[in-house]
Amino acid sequence: MNLSRLTRRLALAAALCAPAFATAQTPVKVEVWKTPTCGCCEDWVKHMRDSGFAVTTHDVQDTGPIRRNAGMANYGSCHTAAVEGYAIEGHVPASDVRRLLLEKPDAAGLAAPGMPLGSPGMDGPEYGGRKTPHDVVLVDKQGGSKVFQAYR
């Protein structure tokens, strides 16, 4: 094979692969609803951005209605997020969100109920390195849940 044919084939292969590479580099969009004064919510948003997500925040006075509309009424925390059709309630680690998006279960989303110490956003110096054993749960569309990831 002569060099010009090889060059054309390589160029064609690169052109065909380019959209896949461009898609792989597009950050996943996350929308977050939180109260304007919640510092741990801001820390969770930073964790998500540092993990490569494109995060948009909405400051609201009451996150309850958003939580209920997202199917997370029984799994309350201080913020609710939406990502690719799933709800994320509370301080769920970015790694769990990525796993959710890879596995694509038929579910409402993930929740880290309460505000567990040591979870992203609840892990700053003001918490003195304390950690609370907790579970991130997969919430089904009927409101039930099962452990998605345990943190001990």
CB 44 within 8 A of CB 81: no
Average pLDDT over residues 120-131: 96
- Position 2 confidence tier, pLDDT thresholds 50, 70, 90: low
pLDDT of residue 4: 59
pLDDT digit string, tens, across residues 80-121: 999 999 999 999 999 999 999 999 999 999 999 999 999 999
- Position with higher pLDDT, 47 vs 5: 47
Q: Give yes or no for a contact between 105 and 84, defined as CB atoms under 8 angstroms apart.
A: no
User: CATH fold of 26-151, please?
Assistant: Glutaredoxin (3.40.30)
Mean pLDDT of the chain: 90
Residue reference for tokens 């039930």: 144
Instruction: Give the bridge partners for 82, in sequence order.
Output: 31, 87
DSSP calls for 46-98: HHHHHTT-EEEEEE-S--HHHHHHTT-TTS--SEEEEETTEEEEES--HHHHH
